[in-house]
Amino acid sequence: MWPDALRVQAPHFSAAEPMAIWQRRLLAVLVTSILIGMVVSPDLSATLLMAVLTPIFLCVAFLRATALWVFTRMPPVAHAPAVPAAEPLPIYSILVPLYAEAHMAGSLVAALERIDWPPDRRDFIFITETGDDATRLALEAVIGNRVGMRIIVVPPGNPRTKPRALMYALPHAIGELVVVFDAEDEPEPGQLREAFRRFYFSGPELGCLQARLNIYNVRASLITRQFTLEYTALFDALLPAVEHLRLPLPLGGTSNHFRRHVLDECGGWDPYNVTEDADLGFRLARLGYRVAMLNSTTWEEAPPTIRGWTGQRSRWLKGWMQTTLVHLRDPARLRSELGTRGFLGFNILMGGVIFSALVHPLVYAYALWKLATGDLTLWPPDGWPAVFWWAGAANLMVAYVVGIALAMICGWRRHGPRLAFHALLLPIYWLMISFAAYRAVFDLARQPFHWRKTAHKGKAGAYRRNSSE
């Protein structure tokens, strides 16, 4: 399997061509119509947009409410039974793509060595890029003669992305099971055994397990606190709710555990998609495989600065836009492969995230414009437009209340009350996400395959299960 295999063998699944012709034409018509409408009749255009988008946002709020219900009412996930002692453990390939991470080599290898899996059954592959000699040399110095650890250098080529590196390394992996970790990751030591048990006692339809991700540098800044609340709500409540509702589940960027033959069958990662994880989760669902949550945590580092956070978030949103465009190239085929429930779930998950981020600041901009022009009512005085405006306003309030409650309760359970009350700043954080979304649109138009690298600092000290202690 070569890095460009997906584009060659299944071009309809590849983001190498960012948009289909019909998508470009539809986008041009929609943008032109909205702009003309805002000039000719701003109030009517805003009302019509509210009427169209309110049901979508209501579905997103419903999904968050369901996540809150699942999180507070459902029993804890039970661990799988123990595998018979006589059963031989398979070789587990651990892929770790790295770029400009020389300073992380020591802590990374130490964290991965804590994994509870027989050394002779572990296949560590550290993937470095051509020209990044510093990272390679640092790894060589740390690894030394350790059993089961090797370094692979990705040859020059475009696009220079994490999924391309993974695709280059995959043919070198010898394990029956494969997991991906990032440079700053600290997985719980028993994660591989927990994943193996789940695969062992599940049918062949289980193609991938997603571990829960959380943050260890919670106290670094206000940004990391909001990021931690977001991640905690996403991986402890929202994604388990998606699984509970039997909807297609987008993967996170790390701690994805795969059956090797499933990766080969689905074409692996798309080098042209900058959120190759979410894309792969939906592709697995389209091919009939199930993605499930794993009751194990990997601790990660959140960007502590606005600049670092914005770069990372704009890349994520650009990738979600790529993923949405790719899977909606043929909506009828997508519905046929996912079923009606899965088709609606995909559009709520992806479309809801993207549209809510783009539309959210426009609501405030419109209100400020009305105030600036002397219209202090902000609402249509009567008639059918008032219905949509009041529905939209109620939907916005429900989204705030449910979103804050979800983040607060999940954050309280994971990290305690001091972090939980930072959920009250969620409306400001959502506006920051909106800024990143517009930057993502700009990047998608100018440089769709550019990978905005997130810098990592790492953390000193030993592994800690709860970063707030």
Q: What is residue 469's predicted lDDT score, i.e. its pLDDT?
A: 35
Tokens of 24: 């470009």
Residue 22 belongs to some domain of the structure: no
DSSP string, 414-428: HH-HHHHGGGGGHHH
Residue 130 belongs to some domain of the structure: yes
- Tell me whether strands 122-129 and 92-97 are parallel, antiparallel or unpaired: parallel
Residue 377 belongs to some domain of the structure: yes
Structure-derived torsion over alpha carbons of residues 285, 265, 80, 255, reported in degrees to the nearest 10: -80
Within 8 A by CB and 6+ apart from 179, the residues are 92, 93, 94, 95, 192, 195, 255, 256, 257, 258
Burial class from Cβ neighbours inside 10 Å (0-12, 13-18, 19+) for residue 381 reads exposed
- Select from 275, 214, 165 the least CA-distant residue to 419: 214
Within 8 A by CB and 6+ apart from 85, the residues are none
Q: What is residue 1's predicted lDDT score, i.e. its pLDDT?
A: 58
Residue 451 belongs to some domain of the structure: yes
Residue 81 belongs to some domain of the structure: no
Strands of 290-300's sheet, edge to edge? 149-154, 122-129, 92-97, 177-180, 256-259, 206-215, 290-300, 186-187
User: Which residues in the chain come in under a pLDDT of 70?
Assistant: 1, 74-82, 84-86, 376-384, 459-469
Task: Map residue 103 onto helix, strand or coil.
Answer: helix
Q: What is residue 5's predicted lDDT score, i.e. its pLDDT?
A: 86
Number of domains in the chain: 1
User: In angstroms, rounded to a whole number, what is the distance separating the alpha carbons of residues 361 and 229?
Assistant: 21
**Distance in Å from the first CA to the final CA of the chain:** 45
Q: Cα angle vertex 271, ends 267, 274, to 5°?
A: 120
Each residue's pLDDT tens digit, 206-265: 999 999 999 999 999 999 999 999 999 999 999 999 999 999 999 998 999 999 999 999
Q: What is residue 455's predicted lDDT score, i.e. its pLDDT?
A: 87
* Domain encompassing residue 47: 42-74+88-464
Q: What is residue 391's predicted lDDT score, i.e. its pLDDT?
A: 78
If residue 49 lies in a helix (H) or strand (E), which one and from where to where? helix 42-73
CATH code: domain of residue 282: 3.90.550.10
* Rounded percentage of the chain residues whose pLDDT exceeds 90: 71
Residue 7 belongs to some domain of the structure: no
Buried b (16+ CB within 10 A) or exposed e, 278-313: bbbbbbbbbeebbbbbbbbbbbbbbbbeeebbbbbb
Residue 398 belongs to some domain of the structure: yes
pTM: 0.92
CB atoms within 10 A of CB 325: 20
Tokens of 289: 């495989």
Residue 30 belongs to some domain of the structure: no
CB atoms within 10 A of CB 261: 11
Q: What is residue 382's predicted lDDT score, i.e. its pLDDT?
A: 65
Residues 324, 354 contacting (CB under 8 angstroms)? yes
DSSP string, 390-453: HHHHHHHHHHHHHHHHHHHHHHHHHH-HHHHGGGGGHHHHHHHHHHHHHHHHHHHHH-TT---P
- Tell me whether strands 177-180 and 92-97 are parallel, antiparallel or unpaired: parallel
